[in-house]
Amino acid sequence: MKKYLLLFIIAVFVMSCSKKVEVKGKITGGSPLERIEFIEASGVATLPLANIGVKNDGTFEGNFEAPKSGMYVISYGGKQNLVYLKAGQALNISGNGQTFPSEYVITGDAKKNNDFFTAAQKYLTNYAQTVNMNELMTKDEPTFIKGIQKVEADINKNIDENVKKFNPDNEVVNWKKNDIASTLLSIMSQYDLSHKQMGNPSFKVTKAFTDYENKLQANKDEMVKDNPAYRSYLLSKMSPDFQKYAEAKGKGKTDVTTSELFNQYLKDKKDISQITKDYLLAFVMAQSDIHPNTPEKTSDKIKKIIDEDIKDATIKADLKKIQFAINGFKIGDVAPEGALAKQDGKAYKLSENKGKPYMLAFYASWNPYIGEATVPVLKEVANFYKSKMNFVFVNVDDTKDQFVKTSNSLLKGITGINVYADGGLNSDIAKKYGVYGFKLPCFIIIDKDGKIASKPFFNLGDPELVTVLDKQTGLSAPKVDPNIQLQQGMGIDPSAQQQQAPQPANPQPVPTK
């Protein structure tokens, strides 16, 4: 039987982390091959707002438009943490290359709020070690509630002490209290569920239990907007009921999506606010039905739900943005132009290829997959198809000097046009094609009429790419076996190409310690 379980995350004592923000700082021992990214922690779209390079001396600077004041995920070198930022604020942040951003030092405007947040997180980490939550979960309900109330009181006491010490803004204090409430609600949901699963499916909590739950979520709309942990709690509460609904409504249907079922399920819930419905539906869509391998038919269904049933304008826009970033253009769409320049500074237009199909490849020197793994395969692909199609390599490095250096060395000997997108990932063409750091390198096939002929490909060994290239050129790449990847069919060692299709950033903020 197909299961339509909602995805949710329950964390204990941690966050499961003009509008322009100016960012600068230094990472001692930092690497220019690593990038600093910022993601809005409370948003429904998990796309990086900024992708900032680190110079050879470890310094960095950049900026991004902050959708609102709140928590943001900062990532670097495979590590993540949370920072609290106010729109229009300057962030001066530094650290050591070995530990940044798990550990960081902030000075200037953002210091007091993040000193408060860091102190609160440190207390939670230590406090969690003093509470035997597994034992508390086995207690009778009155004892359990008393234990959870003590936890809440202890944590809020520490929060009040840190308020006096650091004098943070009210917004970050309220966020932290709502975050704690969300975590406690998740623990209570686990208690309810675990007792039902312990041989007593008819188990029901008392009024005292539900009254305390209601007290913890007195700020429902604020919590659902700012705290993904609260959204996870709500989904966990709905999961059993939704499972029954989905099994009944989805019975005998093979093409129905989780998003469609959950959308219909929410329409019958008159006691849930529209903003809550929007956030929960957005979460389920992003987790269940928006991914690199989503069929076009499913993508169209999701787009229709976004257009018709998501009411909040910001959530609607964010969902459309992430859907486009992951799934790309529809086949047959006109490939947009973008500001591009050759090494000599002369402008270049993609329309110069009209009359001949071409591969559009986005890459950057700092991306780990463009080096030894991809270049040999790319060279073979270009050599095989160059008589029937063109190749346009778009560099999205931070500077033109880096573009010249990279294209002259990395792409030496590969047939094609080398051009630069001024502004890198912030360039006009990167935005038009939905190019982000996690998508590099990516390859898109354009037909002879200047129309999109393929989805974005992230692996040159994708068998579907061979099919598209053969169709556009009339050539036939040699194949030993229909299941063997492109590089094997051309006599290339498949171990040289290991990259898989990228996934968007984790939608849930990570623990800070």
- Domains contained in the chain, CATH given: 7-232 (2.60.40.1120), 253-327 (no CATH), 340-496 (3.40.30.10)
Average pLDDT over residues 465-484: 79
Give pLDDT tens digits for 369-422. Answer: 887 778 999 999 999 999 999 999 999 999 999 999 999 999 999 999 999 999
Q: What is the pLDDT of residues 184-211, one digit of tens each?
A: 999 999 999 888 877 677 789 999 999 9
Phi and psi torsions of 434, nearest 5°: 65, 45
Higher pLDDT, 491 or 299: 299
Residue 11 has pLDDT above 60, yes or no: no
Residues 6+ apart with CB under 8 A from 496: 372, 373, 376, 377, 487
* Cα separation, 72 vs 91, whole angstroms: 12
Nearest to 23 by CA among 33, 14, 15, 35: 35
**CB half-sphere exposure, 351, CA atoms < 13 A:** 6
ω into 201 cis (within 30 of 0): no
In 31-78, where does DSSP find H-type helix?
none
Q: Which has the minimum average pLDDT: 39-48, 156-165, 357-366? A: 39-48
Give the phi and the psi of residue 139 in degrees, each rounded to 5.
-75, 165
487 has a pLDDT exceeding 60? no
Strand 105-107 relative to strand 90-96, pairing = antiparallel
Helix (H) or strand (E) holding 414: none
Higher pLDDT, 512 or 78: 78
Report pLDDT for 479. Answer: 65
Are the CB atoms for 81 and 102 separated by under 8 Å? yes
Q: 381, 357, 380: which is closest to 452 by C-alpha?
A: 357
pLDDT at 3 over 60: no
In contact, 45 and 278? CB cutoff 8 Å:
no
pTM above 0.75, yes or no: yes
- How many whole angstroms separate alpha carbon 53 and alpha carbon 20? 18
Tell me: the pLDDT tens digits for 112-164?
A: 999 999 999 999 999 999 999 999 999 999 999 999 999 999 999 999 999 99
Is the confidence at residue 508, as pLDDT, over 90?
no
Q: What pLDDT, in 10s, does the model give residues 219-249?
A: 999 999 999 999 999 999 999 899 999 999 9
